[in-house]
Amino acid sequence: MITKKGIVPIKGGQHKPLTNDQLDKLHEATIDVMENIGIKNMHGEAREIMEDNGCDVDHDKKIVKIPGNVMMEYIAKAPCNITLYGRDPIYDIKLDDSDNVYVMGGAGAVNTLDMDNKLRPSTMKDLEDFTRLEDTLENMDIAHFLVTPQDTEFGNTSECEMITFAHNLINNTRNFYALVGGCREGLKYELEMASVLAGSIEEVSKRPFFVAGLCLISPLTHRYGFIEELLECGKFNIPCYLEVDQNAGGTTPYTLAGTIVEANANVLSAVVLAQMANPGAPCIYASSSGILDMRSLNFSGNAPESTLLHMALAQMAHYYNLPYYGSNTADSKVPDAQMGYERAQHFLGCAMGGVNIIHVAIGNLAMMSIANYEQCLIDNEILGSTFRFLRGIEIDEGKIGLDAFREAGHSSGFLSTAHTLKYCRSGERWEPRLTDRGNWNQWMAETGGKDMRERAKELAKEILKEHKPVYATEKEKQEVFKIARAAQIEIDSKHK
């Protein structure tokens, strides 16, 4: 949560779904998978590195089997404490294996449900506007690119990794999530862009203000591009989200227990490779997983089982002294009642489970395929309520308020006591921006009967009209986007 003093964590971890005995059983099952089934590794150099460090490698089948003692030896080399730097140090985050909770913005929607309620392809202007809107949210600690624009010069077949990196770099001073492009060259271009603002690539390596999102394939597969990214990030000390994207019942076993084991084996084997290649490489155990809904055969990111999965994976990551990033987006297609309950239970569950970074938490609908302006503000509201819940109840002499009892006696005059005056300005209570608590007549008089979505729309328009920050000079912008365009051409040619 962002305060005047900078980012402060919210203490989560109030509910742990797994017992210590269950954690041990899942760990033992993970070792069994590592030793007897192994990981499909599509990168020859990486297989050789792992073979040289005690793994059993079948180069013809591209299978790497990792003995349990080797796994634990190299996981122990991964740092527990990782600083996610902001361009502005006020946004620095100290990440570790505690239950401290932070929030990341939404991600990558190719469509936007705009404020005229029209569903259309996302644009560069949407990317710019969403970024300005999110810049005002006190419950978003880490930035992401909420949309993948479809109107760039590169066409709608491009992932736009370099363009979205450039955009986040010059329009934001928080730490941000970056896609690398599936090749070593992608990171080199990103380091070059970052150095425009940091002064040099060496300075970026000392205080990297972005984290590379590297996606694993389930079941148990490390693709060539992923490993290229992993090895290059380790070389330059760029933290990595090692993100497994599972569809429980489709790409992993149907049961949550089996899905946890697949995630654990997949992510930990990537941590092992990262440490073998570059000891001390900063790695964050990550998941953007959910379940396969058997009725629709679609992915569900906010089903209760999906929430439980992230709560359990947070425990597994902490079992190995690794920080964890997880969560997913609402299945609802519009900001409606379904969206409200999905987000509330998912945010609360993830936070109470000790998920260190609640991922894709702002502005997404329809399993990350749609972005919505109103939803950005509604998600921020739900997160604010969630965090107040997690703070719990403070008990001390002042909070108990015996002086207030003495002053008010047996009257109902507590509103006018000195105790109330003191604590109503202390942050004791959460103050919502959108939630209406008036009676019917007050609601009608003050809003004309507008529901939360309409109120959020009005606030979003007001923010976009007024909030126009400048975080880079025109010269810096031109230089960064010149690099980004050249980089995107090369990355797209590699994809083809």
Report pLDDT digits (tens) over 468-492: 999 999 999 999 999 999 999 999 9
State the average pLDDT over residues 417-434. 92
Give CA–CA dist 291/293, Å, rounded.
6
CA distances to 41, 64, 107, 452 from 225, rounded to whole Å, are 11, 17, 21, 43
Give CA–CA dist 313/182, Å, rounded.
25
pLDDT, position 9 = 93
Residue type, 47: R
CA 454: distance to chain centroid? 27
**Helices 68-75, 20-36: inter-axial angle, 10-degree rounding:** 110
Give CA–CA dist 388/267, Å, rounded.
32
Quick check: bond before 219 cis, omega within 30? yes
pLDDT, position 180 = 97
pLDDT, position 425 = 84
pLDDT tens per residue, range 207-232: 999 999 999 999 999 999 999 999 99
State the average pLDDT over residues 430-442. 96
Percent of the chain with pLDDT over 70: 100
Q: What pTM does this model have?
A: 0.96
Percent of the chain with pLDDT over 90: 97
* 496: pLDDT strictly greater than 80: no
State the average pLDDT over residues 50-59. 98
Give CA–CA dist 385/429, Å, rounded.
10
Residue type, 258: G
Q: Which two tokens stand for residue 273?
A: 């490779």
**What residue segments make up the domains of the chain, in order of their start?**
2-17+76-391+475-495
Concatenated DSSP letters of 207-264? S--EEEEEEEETTTEE-HHHHHHHHHHHHTT--EEEEEE-EETTTB-SSHHHHHHHHH
pLDDT, position 156 = 83
Question: Exposed/middle/buried for 89, CB within 10 Å: 0-12, 13-18, 19+?
Answer: exposed
State the average pLDDT over residues 248-272. 98
CATH superfamily of 2-17+76-391+475-495: Trimethylamine methyltransferase-like (3.20.20.480)
Alpha-carbon radius of gyration of the chain: 24
Give CA–CA dist 407/280, Å, rounded.
60
- The H or E element spanning position 177 is strand 176-178
pLDDT tens per residue, range 140-185: 999 999 999 999 999 888 899 999 999 999 999 999 999 999 999 9
* Structure-token match 């991922």, residue found: 359
Give CA–CA dist 193/478, Å, rounded.
11
Give CA–CA dist 342/349, Å, rounded.
11
CA 145: distance to chain centroid? 11
State the average pLDDT over residues 46-56. 98
Mean pLDDT of the chain, nearest integer = 96
pLDDT, position 488 = 97
pLDDT, position 316 = 98
* 337: pLDDT strictly greater than 80: yes
CB-based contact 476:194 (threshold 8 Å): no
Name residue 93's beta-bridge partners.
Answer: 84
pLDDT, position 427 = 86
pLDDT, position 494 = 84
* Residue 335: other Cβ atoms inside 10 A: 24
DSSP letter at 106 equals: -
Question: Exposed/middle/buried for 376, CB within 10 Å: 0-12, 13-18, 19+?
Answer: buried
pLDDT tens per residue, range 351-406: 999 999 999 999 999 999 999 999 999 999 999 999 999 999 999 999 999 999 99
pLDDT tens per residue, range 112-133: 999 999 999 999 999 999 999 9
Q: Choose the weakest-confidence range: 1-5, 53-57, 91-95, 300-304.
A: 1-5
Ranges of beta strands (E only) in 254-318 are: 283-287, 290-292, 299-300
Give CA–CA dist 194/21, Å, rounded.
45
Q: Which two tokens stand for residue 307?
A: 């929430």
pLDDT category at 42 given cuts 50, 70, 90 is very high
**Spatial CA neighbour of 222 closest among 487, 34, 496:** 34
* 75: pLDDT strictly greater than 90: yes
* 198: pLDDT strictly greater than 90: yes
Spatial strand order in the sheet of 290-292: 247-248, 290-292, 299-300
